[in-house]
């Protein structure tokens, strides 16, 4: 798959040729769950934090540790209006990105292992952007030329490890909060860019044991895909096969005080991109 991404223009040309032969697809056997594997192991994985407006507003209003002193004295409706104004100002700033390790990636039917030293494992469905050409100092206007396609990702998070309380923290601990093995269900397929008419009109849904917690559209994204690519490529070199996780909408478990337990099943879906179905299991001794 990485070889295909490294020569993406030729790959897309071949895909279009194959797609013209509809009968070939009609005669192909359907994949069952056992056939759905990790598409490939990404190289660099970038995650854009706090990128959905409703999500961030909910975090600030719902978590007393994040409230500003002056907000607490305001009625809830005025407080919400003030926070939404803060979000409007945030859009004018730069995206915030962190890294996730390639070893986190698993397939769309693989098990998510809940570590023994994590008490608040949480879910985060996101639209993943797959890079198809080497990108360095790319402008927002040309950014989409470097996108190979899109994929469903679930940025599973050890919520209590993000902000350390042992006195040694100098900031958020993204390694401990984001990088446990199996903490990135990825797939089931890479959908070529041209097959998605509008990446800002996609519905993202995530359910746990049949109950839907996240149900939002990419229209709520504050930093566009183009701006994320521009920001990242002006700091690092993006390579074919790299993935940008573009942020998660409102509805994480932390918003409800609900966290993943052994035996839980997450189903993550994005319009036109298939579905993930990952069961959670406890880490063995």
Tens of pLDDT along the chain (285 residues) come to 888 888 888 888 887 777 655 445 445 454 556 578 899 999 999 999 989 988 766 665 554 444 455 666 767 787 667 667 777 766 678 999 999 999 999 999 999 999 999 999 999 999 999 999 999 999 999 999 999 999 999 999 999 999 888 877 688 899 999 999 999 999 999 999 999 999 999 999 999 999 999 999 999 999 999 999 999 999 999 999 999 999 999 999 998 999 999 999 999 999 999 999 999 999 997
Q: Kindly report the CA angle at 258 between 156 and 222, in degrees rounded to 5?
A: 55
Q: What would the two tokens of residue 200 be? A: 């800002």
**Measured between alpha carbons, how far is 176 from 158 in angstroms, rounded to an integer?**
7
Element (H, E) at 221: none
Query: Do residues 190 and 108 lie in contact, with contact meaning Cβ atoms separated by under 8 Å?
Result: no
Query: Do residues 265 and 279 lie in contact, with contact meaning Cβ atoms separated by under 8 Å?
Result: yes
pTM as predicted:
0.87
Fold of 2-6+35-51+96-282: Fumarylacetoacetate hydrolase; domain 2 (3.90.850)
Q: What would the two tokens of residue 189 be? A: 């397929």
Beta strands 184-185 and 105-106, pairing class? parallel
* Three-state DSSP class for residue 225: helix
Q: What would the two tokens of residue 26 be? A: 């009609």
* Three-state DSSP class for residue 278: strand
Please classify residue 233 by burial: count the beta carbons closer than 10 Å to its beta carbon, then call 0-12 exposed, 13-18 middle and 19+ buried: buried
Query: Do residues 109 and 152 lie in contact, with contact meaning Cβ atoms separated by under 8 Å?
Result: no
Judged by phi (left if over 0) then psi (alpha if -120 to 50, else beta), residue 209 lies in left
Q: How many Cβ atoms sit within 10 Å of the Cβ of residue 41? A: 15
DSSP string, 229-272: HHHHHTTS-B-TT-EEE----S--GGGTT----TT-EEEEEETT
Q: Kindly report the CA angle at 51 between 120 and 37, in degrees rounded to 5?
A: 65
pLDDT in the model for residue 58: 63
**Measured between alpha carbons, how far is 267 from 277 in angstroms, rounded to an integer?**
5
* Three-state DSSP class for residue 275: strand
Tell me whether the omega of the peptide bond preceding residue 188 falls within 30 degrees of 0, making it cis: yes
Please classify residue 251 by burial: count the beta carbons closer than 10 Å to its beta carbon, then call 0-12 exposed, 13-18 middle and 19+ buried: buried
pLDDT in the model for residue 27: 52
Sign of CA dihedral 134, 140, 144, 150: positive
**What count of residues does the chain have?**
285
């Amino acid at each position: 798959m990485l070889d295909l991404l490294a020569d993406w223009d030729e790959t897309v040309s071949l895909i279009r040729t194959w797609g013209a032969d509809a009968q070939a697809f009609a005669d192909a056997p359907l994949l069952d769950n056992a056939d759905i594997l990790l598409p490939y192991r990404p190289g660099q994985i970038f995650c854009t934090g706090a990128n959905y407006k409703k999500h961030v507003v909910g975090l600030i209003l719902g978590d007393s540790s994040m409230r500003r002193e002056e907000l607490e004295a305001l009625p809830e409706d005025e407080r919400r209006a003030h926070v939404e104004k803060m979000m409007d100002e945030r859009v004018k700033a730069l995206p915030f990105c962190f890294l996730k390790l390639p070893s986190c990636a698993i397939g769309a039917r693989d098990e998510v292992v809940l570590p023994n030293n994590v008490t608040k494992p949480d879910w985060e469905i996101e639209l993943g952007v797959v890079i198809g050409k080497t990108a360095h100092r790319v402008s927002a206007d040309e950014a989409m030329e470097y996108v190979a396609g899109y994929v469903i990702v679930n940025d599973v998070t050890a919520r209590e490890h993000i902000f350390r309380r042992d006195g040694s923290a100098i900031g958020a601990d993204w390694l401990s909060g984001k990088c446990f093995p199996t903490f990135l269900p990825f797939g089931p397929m890479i959908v070529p860019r041209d097959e998605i008419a509008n990446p800002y009109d996609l519905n993202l849904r995530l359910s746990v044991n049949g109950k839907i917690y996240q149900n939002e559209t990419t229209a709520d994204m504050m930093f566009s895909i183009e701006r994320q690519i521009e920001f990242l490529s002006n700091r690092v070199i993006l390579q074919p096969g790299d993935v940008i996780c573009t942020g998660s909408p409102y509805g994480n478990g932390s918003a409800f005080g609900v966290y993943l337990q052994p035996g839980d099943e997450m189903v993550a879906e994005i319009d036109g991109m298939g579905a993930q179905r990952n069961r959670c299991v406890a880490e063995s001794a």
